[in-house]
């Protein structure tokens, strides 16, 4: 369509369109509306099927349609054309106007198959456009297109170019406006971040003040968790290395949540868990709480160790000086909550090799004890008759093995040394047998002393030498003479009771006794040899862990 075939219009009409466009750009209420007005006026001015404005993306070396009028397909409306390809890609480089009367048939153009399919779907044939440039910068292109062949006149190209200059100004302002908007948004966000950071710092300073005050006055982990929970508006739970809950502000266990480690001097002490954090920045506050929890645990441990050393010294003094003034002894006991005159029980306990410190901590938490830590065992003096039962329950709950000897109660602190010796003998009997459990010294008598000596290698070989011939005979002949002898002495020489125990005839028992006499010699079952052989058989039977004794020779 040439100038002569267009509807009558004057240069004044073109100037009016340009003036209206310039007015729209100056207002700049909405850049996209201005661009849309430009493509409508361009299409109306030239009477084309469609018109569109593209924006050049130099970073990706392509130009894409930003506003259009008359385009019917989504593919063409959102078309992205590589630079230096087709008509649009050439125009958008900013070099010069370009046109084609029949796009798909124009072999002079650099075609892109994907773009050709989009053009074919829209039915486009003729395309003409001008570059949009400002200050030598290529911003995009203003393009008109027809669904039939057409060659645009120089005047038409000039008219589009005039509108294109206005479109370029609009695009430039759009870009500048967008940049200013982004800058303003960035500044606003930076301001918000600064305010949030300032608020976080203020909260951290305030929290640190409360936490430090709590640690200095009393290293109470529960109080520290309460302070942290208020600051974070979240329940907090302190878990030990094994996952057990040490302290919590929650009514029920916290199943999952934000978690930070609690450590001091490279040692992992546990973990601090928050039920919820309102914002990621609050994790810094949770870490501050965890740091003060670690400090409180270290301080409390130091205090516990100092108190334990003092208790060890005091209990050692009580054991070594049973004749010390009663006032001196009772004053120390009163310090740890033991009332004067209270009946005391003495417990000698194996703390185990692993997690010794943890076991000491939980045992001390039972309260009402004076404790001494020795190389291979712990000693406790307590007025609580249920203390050992509670200790057993505590060890079971942690999956720990308990081995302990108990003696008492005693009414006079002067008897602590004797009670301690008896409890240690009971404990030593378990150690000698490598067995777990709790043994009361009153249940063992003289045997406990023998077992303790055996465990420490303190029994001379001569004490059991008398039964060695009998043990050798059993081993060589596959008999059970040693068991028969033990039961005979245990039953005060009752053949009938031995026969019942062994489930044999009485005559069989008498035959075995005769054979025992031949092996051990006459008088083996009469004093003074009777007691020695009985104790030797008893010791051999118990230390074997079986119903039949074995050799105790070394």
DSSP state letters, 373-418:
E-SS-EEEEES-TTHHHHHHHHHHHHT---EEEEEEEESSGGGHHH
Cα gap 79→99, rounded to integer Å: 18
The pLDDT, as a whole number, for residue 458 is 52
Structural contact between residues 340 and 330, judged by C-beta atoms closer than 8 angstroms: yes
Largest Cα span, the chain: 153
- Answer for the pair 495, 432: CB distance below 8 angstroms, yes or no: no
In tens, the pLDDT along 43-55 reads: 988 889 999 999 8
Angle 346-352-354 from CA coordinates, rounded to 5°: 145
Asked whether 260 and 272 are in contact (CB, 8 A), the reply is yes
Is the pLDDT at 480 greater than 80? The verdict is yes
Report the alpha-carbon distance of residue 37 to residue 531 in Å, rounded. Answer: 123
Mean pLDDT value across residues 71-87: 93
CA dist 447 to 409, 452, 547, 549, Å? 21, 8, 17, 15
Please compute Rg for the chain using Cα positions: 50
pTM above 0.75, yes or no: no
131-174 pLDDT tens trace: 988 777 888 899 999 999 999 998 888 888 887 887 777 677 66
Across residues 520-529, what is the average pLDDT? 82
DSSP symbol at 466 = G
pLDDT tens readout for residues 371-390: 777 667 788 888 888 888 88
| 138 or 186, which is more confident | 138
Q: Residue 497, class by beta-carbon neighbours within 10 Å (0-12 exposed, 13-18 middle, 19+ buried)?
A: middle
Where do the H-state alpha helices sit in 218-281?
Answer: 221-232
Residue 113: other Cβ atoms inside 10 A: 6
Pairing of strands 258-264, 245-248: unpaired
Rounded CA-CA distance 493/495 in Å is 6
Q: Give the per-residue pLDDT at 73.
A: 95
Structure confidence at residue 485 (pLDDT): 85
| Domains in the chain, CATH or no CATH each | 3-180 (3.30.450.40), 218-301 (3.30.450.40), 321-445 (3.30.70.270), 461-544 (1.10.10.2840)
At a CB cut-off of 8 Å and minimum separation 6, what does 176 contact? none
């Amino acid at each position: 369509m040439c100038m002569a075939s267009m509807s009558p219009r004057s240069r004044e009409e073109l100037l009016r369109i340009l003036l209206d466009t310039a007015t729209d750009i100056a207002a700049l209420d909405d850049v996209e509306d201005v661009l849309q007005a430009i493509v409508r006026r361009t299409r109306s001015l030239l009477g084309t099927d469609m018109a569109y404005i593209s924006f050049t993306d130099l970073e990706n070396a392509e130009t894409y349609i930003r506003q259009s009028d008359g385009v019917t397909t989504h593919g063409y409306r959102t078309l992205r054309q590589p630079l230096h390809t087709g008509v649009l890609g050439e125009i958008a480089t900013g070099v010069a106007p370009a046109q084609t009367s029949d796009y798909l048939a124009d072999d002079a153009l650099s075609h892109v198959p994907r773009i050709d399919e989009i053009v074919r779907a829209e039915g486009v044939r003729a395309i003409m456009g001008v570059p949009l440039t400002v200050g030598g910068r290529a911003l995009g292109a203003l393009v008109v297109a027809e669904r039939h062949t057409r060659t645009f006149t120089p005047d038409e190209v000039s008219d589009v170019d005039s509108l294109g200059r206005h479109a370029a100004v609009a695009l430039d302002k759009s870009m500048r406006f967008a940049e200013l908007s982004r800058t303003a948004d960035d500044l606003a966000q930076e301001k918000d971040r600064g305010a949030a950071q300032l608020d976080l710092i203020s909260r951290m300073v305030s929290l640190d003040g409360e936490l430090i005050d709590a640690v200095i006055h009393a290293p109470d982990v529960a109080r520290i968790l309460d302070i942290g929970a208020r600051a974070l508006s979240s329940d907090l739970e302190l878990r030990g290395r094994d996952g057990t809950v040490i302290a919590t502000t929650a009514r029920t266990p916290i199943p999952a949540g934000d978690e930070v480690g609690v450590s001091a001097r490279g040692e992992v002490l546990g973990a601090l868990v928050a039920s919820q954090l309102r914002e990621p920045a609050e994790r810094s506050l949770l870490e501050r709480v965890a740091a003060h929890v670690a400090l409180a645990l270290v301080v409390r441990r130091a205090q516990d160790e100092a108190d334990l050393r003092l208790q060890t010294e005091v209990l050692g003094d009580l054991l070594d000086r049973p004749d010390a003034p009663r006032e001196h002894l009772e004053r120390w006991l009163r310090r740890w909550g033991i009332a004067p005159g209270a009946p005391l029980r003495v417990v000698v306990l194996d703390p185990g090799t692993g997690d010794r410190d943890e076991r000491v901590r939980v045992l001390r938490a039972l309260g009402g004890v004076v404790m001494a830590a020795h190389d291979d065992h712990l000693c406790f003096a307590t007025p609580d008759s249920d203390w050992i039962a509670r200790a057993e329950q505590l060890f079971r709950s942690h999956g720990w093995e308990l081995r302990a000897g108990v003696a008492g109660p005693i009414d006079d602190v002067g008897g602590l040394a004797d009670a301690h010796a008896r409890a240690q003998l009971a404990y030593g009997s378990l150690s000698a047998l490598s067995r777990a459990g709790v043994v009361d010294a009153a249940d063992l008598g003289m045997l406990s002393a023998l077992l303790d000596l055996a465990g420490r290698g303190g029994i001379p070989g001569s004490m059991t030498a008398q039964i060695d011939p009998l043990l050798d005979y059993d081993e060589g002949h596959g008999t059970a003479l040693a068991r028969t002898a033990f039961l005979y002495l245990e039953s005060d020489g009752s053949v009938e009771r031995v026969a019942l125990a062994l489930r044999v005839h009485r005559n069989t028992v008498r035959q075995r006794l005769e054979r025992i006499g031949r092996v051990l010699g006459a008088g083996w079952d009469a004093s003074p040899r009777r007691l020695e052989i009985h104790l030797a058989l008893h010791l051999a039977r118990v230390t074997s862990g079986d119903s039949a004794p074995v050799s105790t020779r070394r």
